[in-house]
């Protein structure tokens, strides 16, 4: 089985690339989805987050107040390191377990979407790494479209390795400034080489 790592900058098209991989029969796990499950009510990660960051990061329904936690951790690198120390080991354990299940099954090709793939030193776990990227202008436009302020955009981009460095480390690049047809064609070319 070949396992692909899929990474890229925030707002650059990783989720779209993952959907396209799925249409070609690739098994995909997205670490953002894993992270959301890890902080559901009753999970140990949520209890630890509450202990470290206080009641203000817990919503009235007992779930995680993502907006408040994001406000804290993207404004303070020490706080961001604390949340990463809580979540990253659990996330890694979850996706490694999923990859192992695929290995035991009849899976030919799988992909793990990890926005911070290089930052978390996970590249060695993959046969090939795909970096999804776009121009800074398109990235800004997409993130603004999510309703993020200029400060939120700047903080989130600063929290990641520059996309140019990710491009240099990746085996394949998917450039997403074009339309979805061009995006899909790039995915198809990559899959034909694997």
Element (H, E) at 27: strand 27-30
Identify the CA nearest to 26 among candidates 3, 55, 56, 53. 3
Helix residue ranges, H only, the chain: 14-23, 31-38, 44-53, 66-75, 77-104, 136-145, 150-158, 163-169, 180-193
Secondary structure (3-state) at 106: coil
The answer to whether residue 175 scores a pLDDT higher than 90 is yes
How many domains would you assign to the chain?
1
CB-CB contact of 61 with 76 (8 Å): no
Region 117-129: mean pLDDT is 96
Torsion of CA 17, 23, 25, 26, to 10 degrees: 10
Arithmetic mean of pLDDT over the chain: 95
**Max CA distance (Å), the chain:** 50
pLDDT at 114: 97
pLDDT at 190: 97
**Measured distance CA(81)–CA(79) in Å, rounded:** 5
Percentage of residues of the chain with pLDDT beyond 70: 100
The answer to whether residue 106 scores a pLDDT higher than 90 is no
Task: Identify the domain containing residue 117 by its residue range.
Answer: 2-193
The answer to whether residue 76 scores a pLDDT higher than 90 is yes
Strands 109-113 and 2-8: parallel
The answer to whether residue 48 scores a pLDDT higher than 90 is yes
The answer to whether residue 3 scores a pLDDT higher than 90 is yes
Kindly report the CATH number assigned to the domain that includes residue 51: 3.40.50.300
Confidence band for 37, pLDDT divided at 50, 70 and 90: very high
Tokens representing 5 are 């790592």
pLDDT at 140: 94
**Measured distance CA(61)–CA(41) in Å, rounded:** 9
**Measured distance CA(121)–CA(137) in Å, rounded:** 28
């Amino acid at each position: 089985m070949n396992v692909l790592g899929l990474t890229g900058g925030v707002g650059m098209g990783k989720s779209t690339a993952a959907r396209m991989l799925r249409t070609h029969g690739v098994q995909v796990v997205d670490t953002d989805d894993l992270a959301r499950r890890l902080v559901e009510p009753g999970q140990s990660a949520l209890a630890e987050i509450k202990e470290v960051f206080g009641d203000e990061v817990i919503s009235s329904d007992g779930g995680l107040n993502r907006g408040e936690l994001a406000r804290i951790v993207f404004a303070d690198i020490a706080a961001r390191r604390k949340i990463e120390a809580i979540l990253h080991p659990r996330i890694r354990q979850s996706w490694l377990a999923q990859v192992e299940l695929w290995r035991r099954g009849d899976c030919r090709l799988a992909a793990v979407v990890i926005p911070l793939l290089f930052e978390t030193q996970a590249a060695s776990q993959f046969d090939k790494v795909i970096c999804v990227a776009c121009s800074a202008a398109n990235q800004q436009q997409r993130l603004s479209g999510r309703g993020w302020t200029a400060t939120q955009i700047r903080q989130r981009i600063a929290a990641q390795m520059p996309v140019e460095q990710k491009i240099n480390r990746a085996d394949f690049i998917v450039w997403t400034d074009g339309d979805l047809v061009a995006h899909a064609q790039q995915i198809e070319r990559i899959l034909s080489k694997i």
